Amino acid sequence: MSGSSSRTLIAGFGNVLRGDDGFGVEVVRRLQVEENQPEGVELLEVGTGGIALAQALLTPYERLVVVDAMKRGGKPGTVYVLRVESVDALRSVDMHMAVPSKALGLAQAIGALPAHVFMVGCEPGEVDELDMTLSAPVQDAVGYAVQEIRRLLAGEAR
């Protein structure tokens, strides 16, 4: 593999049946329909099965971007872009692993964690109701998150 072709995995987490919790999956779906996908970028709808992410990472990637709803106390629709500096190693494996941190811990435990890991999150509004649509602020944030991911892919990370 040549040094110029860095490989990136973009993984969308979330439960599409729980309103704004489906944010990560929606962002990946938006990226899937875009024409000009950069070379070396793979998209994965993880949904609520984090074990799929750990399995996908058995193929080496230089960079991982995890997209998920993320409660950090901001207004619904706020987008966060974070570089993951450390991952807690897992002591046990839960085969569902809906939480990205657990999937990342498993990837680290099996030596498959990429060198560069980012989280692109969105503050959810409604996640407790059974609802297959995103709230308006979170729906608006999908496009913004896609732009932020494009910046990361272009190496313009802040």
Whether the predicted pLDDT of 54 surpasses 80? yes
Between 85 and 75, the higher pLDDT residue: 75
- Give the per-residue pLDDT at 2: 40
Confidence of residue 34 (pLDDT cuts 50, 70, 90): confident
**Most distant pair of Cα atoms in the chain: their distance:** 47
Q: What's the pLDDT score for residue 93? A: 55
131 located within any domain: yes
Q: Is residue 52 part of a domain?
A: yes
| Cβ-Cβ contacts under 8 Å for 20 (sequence gap 6 or more) | 69, 76, 122, 124, 125, 126, 127, 134, 135, 138
In a domain, 42, yes or no: yes
95, part of any domain? yes
- Supply the range of the domain harboring residue 124: 8-153
90 closest CA partner among 53, 122, 115, 64 = 53
Tally of domains within the chain:
1
CATH number at residue 105: 3.40.50.1450
Q: 1 in a domain, yes or no? A: no
Identify the pLDDT of residue 4: 43
